[in-house]
Amino acid sequence: MIIAITRDVSPSIGKCELTHLPRNEIDIEVARSQHFEYENLLKDIGCKIRRLSAEPGLPDSVFVEDTAIVLKELAIVTRPGATSRREETRSVAELLKEYRSIACVVSPGMIDGGDVLQIGKTLYVGISSRTNVAGVKQLMEFVFPYEYRIETVNVERCLHLKSAVTLVGEDKLLINRSWIDTRQFGALEYIDVDPAEPYAANALLIGSELVYPMNFPMTRRRLESRGISVRDVDVSELQKAEGAVTCCSLIFEK
């Protein structure tokens, strides 16, 4: 069984943290409707949704991906880089205890789950404004007994590693090469985002199904030309909060 942890959109999402985007008004009802359709798509793919209640005082809390890294053997509860987001981990950790043993990143470590890309037994971790070396060192200690390898990647021009690169098929990466150095990923197949769509590299692979934002049509055509079938969803209001399709769920096998 595939579990998808999600959380309802906070009524205060308009006060979200922003790093690379200007602040634009977010329509709360549209954002909630889009999030509901996102959850429905996950259900259609075969996920069991475990939905957490909205957190009125935590504007970014819909973006549950940043609160944990869930591996087959354990779950690592993160310490988000934005101070305003650190309370988000509490309820996520309580739910994850039903499925995994838990390890927790502590000060001075910082990690956002959006900075961690798993490909097999390798964890690529972005060193960014939200993830630091101290956090990576703690992650290394947690996963060492399970024979994971960690590779760090410098992230400077976007919020998270998965803003610039995501897995879209077996050994296939969707990537914005102007934001990330491909040499760190080895002998994988690359699909470049369309230059007119720099934010188009974030996609959510669940089994053989690829969840993808509908507002990047040119990059979608590139994916489909490489034989990748896309399940699109409108997340335009959540994107105003620097969100994307990976951000809105924690996906793992029970």
Between the alpha carbon of residue 47 and those of residues 6, 7, 25, 246, 254, the distances in Å are 11, 15, 31, 14, 10
Whole-number pLDDT of residue 186: 82
Alpha-carbon torsion, ordered 22, 242, 244, 64, to 10 deg: -160
Whole-number pLDDT of residue 172: 96
pLDDT tens digits in sequence order for the chain, 254 residues long: 999 999 999 999 999 999 999 999 999 999 999 999 999 999 999 999 999 999 999 999 999 999 999 999 999 999 999 999 999 999 999 999 999 999 999 999 999 999 999 999 999 999 999 999 999 999 999 999 999 999 999 999 999 999 999 999 989 999 999 999 888 888 899 999 999 999 999 999 999 999 999 999 999 999 999 999 999 999 999 999 999 999 999 999 99
Whole-number pLDDT of residue 184: 84
Please give the DSSP secondary-structure letter assigned to residue 73: S
Whole-number pLDDT of residue 132: 98
Hey, what are 62's tokens?
């819909």
Instruction: Report how far residue 25's alpha carbon sits from residue 146's, in angstroms, rounded to the nearest whole number.
Output: 44
Longest dimension (CA), the chain: 46
- Structural domains of the chain sorted by starting position, each given as residue range(s) with its CATH number in brackets: 2-253 (3.75.10.10)
Whole-number pLDDT of residue 183: 84
Q: Which residues are catalytic?
A: 160, 247
Question: Whole-prediction pTM value?
Answer: 0.97
Q: Is 46 left (phi over 0), alpha (psi -120 to 50) or beta?
A: left
3-state DSSP helix/strand/coil percent for the chain, to nearest 5? 30, 25, 45
Whole-number pLDDT of residue 187: 80
Length, in residues, of the chain: 254
Hey, what are 113's tokens?
């789950």
